[in-house]
Amino acid sequence: MSHILVTGGAGFIGANFVLSWLAQAGADSVVNVDKLTYAGNLKTLASLDGDARHIFSRSDICDRAALDSLLKQYRPRAVLHFAAESHVDRSIHGPADFIETNIVGTFTLLEAVRAYYADLGDAEKAAFRFLHVSTDEVFGSLGPTDPQFTETTAYAPNSPYSASKAASDHLVRAYHHTYGLPVLTTNCSNNYGPYHFPEKLIPLMITNALNGKPLPVYGDGLNVRDWLYVGDHCSAIREVLARGVPGETYNVGGWNEKTNLDVVHTLCDLLDELQPKAAGSYRDQIAFVKDRPGHDRRYAIDAGKLERELGWKPAETFETGLRKTVQWYLSHQSWVEDVISGDYRNWVAKQYAA
């Protein structure tokens, strides 16, 4: 039986990827390596209970022995690396975990994979891929009229999160250049969709709106992000894994630049339509709060290379993807309730104390 090994497969994008991967006919089995931090949630994968094609290992990517043993046991034909500390605001309050997981963890994983790859036969070596899932935030912040990020844009990370991801991208690049490891890197824009932890903008706004809480917009609300539906990110990753050229990087984006205020307004309008309040609009709950320190003003992705070279295009527009997302949250309130554990509440209290 053929396997792929996925790290961080209990998180938002990793779990969406695992679910969509195993929904394909004839898909390889998945070895899912996840530490289950506050962001990991096995309930997201509940539909795979009893499915022998999903092998879950609660392991830390900093644990070399655990990685060696999983690689040896399952001999995956590819490693897809999603595991990371991923929330910018948390990285500002406490960068240490970001250094540990995103840099030391990626290094440890690369070392384990380097040793595993060295022992593969020629045919297995030719087929093997290490796909590193990264972010557009490594490119820093754009001015209002700057061109979008391309694969050749210089790195200029501004937060501890993006700096730690940039460091991991550099390590991955170096393992190709120095050791010949067949790596692929994707740099994707902001994702949204089902199973998104409600500390990030879109699920936080939906959750707060439904609970009658303020909708905290940082600063003037005019920071711009380029949004991509998570299912489209997963299809891009499958495409890059299948046909990407080792050593290359691919920008992934939805061609959807929106200000945060636009996003929040659209969410409120969708909720007004789908679950109207007794009186007034969800927009009445919008509250401008203190800005994030070092808040990047604008991200924008040119995903042209992926379209030209691999024929990938997003299936969802922002409007269709956001509507699906709001509908998913409305019909999966129990998932949200479960996620909002004590840990999450402590974090929210600290973040929004002011």
Name residues whose C-beta falls within 8 Å of residue 330's C-beta, 6 or more positions apart in sequence.
210, 274, 275
Nearest to residue 7, comparing CAs of 61, 72, 68, 76? 61
In this complex, which beta carbon is closest to ligand TYD, that of residue 56 or of residue 288?
A: 288
In the residue annotation, 337 being an active-site residue is answered as no
Q: Which residue among the candidates 117, 161, 229, 282 is catalytic per the annotation?
A: 161
| Residue 166 · residue 157 · CB < 8 Å | yes
Instruction: Establish if 105 lies at the interface with ligand NAD (CB under 6 A).
Output: yes
Instruction: Establish if 54 lies at the interface with ligand NAD (CB under 6 A).
Output: no
Taking CB under 6 A as the criterion, the residue among 5, 10, 142, 348 binding ligand NAD is 10
In this complex, which beta carbon is closest to ligand TYD, that of residue 102 or of residue 190?
A: 190
**Shortest distance, position 113 Cβ to ligand TYD, whole Å:** 27
Instruction: Establish if 13 lies at the interface with ligand NAD (CB under 6 A).
Output: yes
DSSP state of 56: E
Dihedral (CA of 254, 19, 90, 205) sign = positive
DSSP state of 111: H
In this complex, which beta carbon is closest to ligand TYD, that of residue 146 or of residue 307?
A: 146
Place of tokens 């209990």: 10
**Shortest distance, position 84 Cβ to ligand NAD, whole Å:** 3
Structure tokens at 149: 């990020």
Instruction: Establish if 208 lies at the interface with ligand NAD (CB under 6 A).
Output: no
Q: Which residue among the candidates 60, 137, 296, 316 is catalytic per the annotation?
A: 137
Number of residues that bind ligand NAD (CB under 6 A): 30
Nearest to residue 102, comparing CAs of 132, 78, 57? 132
In this complex, which beta carbon is closest to ligand NAD, that of residue 11 or of residue 285?
A: 11
In the residue annotation, 136 being an active-site residue is answered as yes
Taking CB under 6 A as the criterion, the residue among 11, 140, 231, 254 binding ligand NAD is 11
Measured CA to CA, the distance from residue 2 to residue 77 in angstroms comes to 7
Instruction: Establish if 135 lies at the interface with ligand NAD (CB under 6 A).
Output: yes
In this complex, which beta carbon is closest to ligand TYD, that of residue 54 or of residue 200?
A: 200
Name residues whose C-beta falls within 8 Å of residue 347's C-beta, 6 or more positions apart in sequence.
38, 90, 199
SS3 279: coil
In the residue annotation, 343 being an active-site residue is answered as no
Site residues (CB under 6 A) for ligand NAD, limited to 147-186: 165
**Shortest distance, position 99 Cβ to ligand TYD, whole Å:** 18
Instruction: Establish if 133 lies at the interface with ligand NAD (CB under 6 A).
Output: yes
Q: Which residue among the candidates 34, 60, 89, 136 is catalytic per the annotation?
A: 136
Which residue's beta carbon is nearest to the bound ligand NAD?
11
What residues does 288 pair with on adjacent strands? 217
- Interacting partner of 61 out of ligand TYD, ligand NAD, none (Cβ under 5 to 8 A depending on kind): ligand NAD
In this complex, which beta carbon is closest to ligand TYD, that of residue 32 or of residue 102?
A: 102
Measured CA to CA, the distance from residue 3 to residue 23 in angstroms comes to 15
Measured CA to CA, the distance from residue 17 to residue 191 in angstroms comes to 12
| Residue 78 · residue 126 · CB < 8 Å | no
Dihedral (CA of 233, 234, 235, 241) sign = positive
Using CB under 6 A as the criterion, which residues of the chain lie in contact with ligand TYD when the complex forms?
A: 88, 190, 200-201, 204, 216-218, 223, 225, 260, 292
Instruction: Establish if 14 lies at the interface with ligand NAD (CB under 6 A).
Output: yes
DSSP state of 79: E
Measured CA to CA, the distance from residue 168 to residue 171 in angstroms comes to 5
Q: Which residues are catalytic?
A: 136-137, 161
Residues in touch with ligand NAD (CB under 6 A)? 7-8, 10-14, 34-37, 39-40, 60-62, 82-86, 101, 105, 133, 135, 165, 188, 190-191, 197
